[in-house]
Amino acid sequence: MMKKYNIHKESFNQITIKRMKTLRFIGVALLAVLMSVSFSACGGDDDDNSSNPLVGTWVGLAGESGWTSNHKIIFNSNGTGSWNQWSDKSSFTDPFNYTCTETVITIDFGDGYPEQWRYSISGNVLNMGKGEKMFKLTKQ
């Protein structure tokens, strides 16, 4: 009788070990699935424009040294943009790259001299300033 009990105990241990291995495999598989879902869920946040209130088209008038010009500044969600300025005397469009914090926009026109502008947004109005230059632009 004692021998049967030992065989039965060995079989029981083998079955228990198999079940534990199976449960561990299922646990690891579930963990892998959960991790892949959580990584893919974070991927879409880069395209969310709500986190960057600058994204969009801003238009307005600005005057400097006795003349006034129209401005249209476009901030894209990928960190690029364009600055369009025109008056009855001239016009130009400059593409740029930008980065921003909560209060400062750094605009790089590619000339080796990035410009830092203080800014604030209230509703659909963007106020930008650099030195004595001040722009009040409205979001289109």
For the entire predicted model, the pTM comes to: 0.61
Q: From first to last of the 140 residues of the chain, give the pLDDT tens digit.
A: 455 555 555 566 676 777 777 777 777 776 676 666 544 333 344 444 458 899 999 999 876 656 678 899 999 999 999 999 888 778 889 999 999 999 999 999 999 999 999 999 999 999 999 888 888 999 99
- Look at residues 136, 114, 120 and name the one whose alpha carbon lies nearest to residue 70: 136
